[in-house]
Structure 1
Amino acid sequence: MRRDGRLGVGVVGSGRVGPVVGAALAGAGHALTGRTAGSDEERASAILPEVPVLEAPEVLRRSELVILAVPRADLPGIVRGLADAGHWQMGQLVLHTDAAHGIEVLRPAAEKGAIPLAVHPAMTFTGTSIDLRQLAATYAAVTAPAPVLPIAQALAVELGCEPIVIDEEDRAAYAEAIATASEFSRQIVQQATGILRGIGVENPGGFLSSLVRSTVDHALAEASPAIPDLPPDLD
Structure 2
Amino acid sequence: MVAEYLLISVRRFSFLEGGIWGIMKKIGFIGAGKVGSALALLLQRNGYEIVGVASRTPASAEKLANRLQSPVLTRGEVCRRSEALFITTTDDAIHQVVSELAAEGSFRQGQIVLHTSGALTAEVLAPAAAQGAITVSLHPLQSFATVEQALAILPGSYFSIEGDQRGFSFAQEVVEKLKGKYFYLDSAAKVLYHAAACVASNYLVGLLACALDLFAAAGIPEEMRLPAILPLVTGTVDNIRKIGIPSALTGPLARGDLGTIAKHLRALQELPEQETVYTRLGLYTLKVALAKGSITEDQGRELRALLEKGVGEKFHREEEK
Counting only pairs closer than 5 Å after superposition, residues 22-37 of structure 1 correspond to structure 2 as: 22-37=40-55
Q: Cα 1:202–1:46, aligned 2, differ >3 Å: closer, same or farther?
A: farther
Distance in 1 separating the partners of 2:146 and 2:133: 28
Aligned-partner SS, 2:136: strand
Task: Give the corresponding residue for 1:61.
Answer: 80
Note the alpha carbon deviations across 1:42-93, whole angstroms, 9 max, x for none: 6972686123222211111221111111111221222122111211122211
Distance in 2 separating the partners of 1:44 and 1:203: 41
Aligned-partner SS, 1:51: coil
Give the stretch that moved more between structures: 164-173 or 145-154. Answer: 145-154
Aligned-pair RMSD on alpha carbons?
Answer: 2.7
Distance in 2 separating the partners of 1:18 and 1:55: 16
Gaps of 5+ in 2: 1-10, 15-19, 248-321
Give the stretch that moved more between structures: 199-208 or 79-88. Answer: 199-208
From 3, 9, 23, give the equivalent of 2:27.
Answer: 9
TM-score, normalisation: structure 1: 0.83
Task: Give the corresponding residue for 1:97.
Answer: 116
Q: Which amino acid aligns with 1:20?
A: A
2:227 is the alignment partner of 1:209:
no
Q: CA deviation at 1:159?
A: 3.0
Q: Is the 8 A contact 1:93 1:114 kept in 2?
A: yes
Note the alpha carbon deviations across 1:76-115, whole angstroms, 9 max, x for none: 2221221112111222111100012222111210111111
Distance in 1 separating the partners of 2:200 and 2:240: 12
Task: Give the corresponding residue for 2:191.
Answer: 172
Distance in 2 separating the partners of 1:224 and 1:60: 48
Q: Cα 1:129–1:44, aligned 2, differ >3 Å: closer, same or farther?
A: farther
Distance in 1 separating the partners of 2:151 and 2:179: 8
Higher helix content, 1 or 2: 2
From 98, 120, 126, give the equivalent of 2:139.
Answer: 120
Q: Is the 8 A contact 1:109 1:116 kept in 2?
A: yes
Task: Give the corresponding residue for 2:289.
Answer: none
Q: Cα 1:87–1:121, aligned 2, differ >3 Å: closer, same or farther?
A: same
From 140, 150, 161, give the equivalent of 2:159.
Answer: 140
- Matched-pair identity in %: 27
Note the alpha carbon deviations across 1:137-179, whole angstroms, 9 max, x for none: 3110011323332222222222332011111111111111111
Q: Highest CA radius of gyration, 1 or 2? A: 2
Q: Considering Cα pairs closer than 8 Å and 6+ residues apart, tell me whether 1 or 2 has the greater RCO.
A: 1
TM-score, normalisation: structure 2: 0.63
Paired residue total:
225
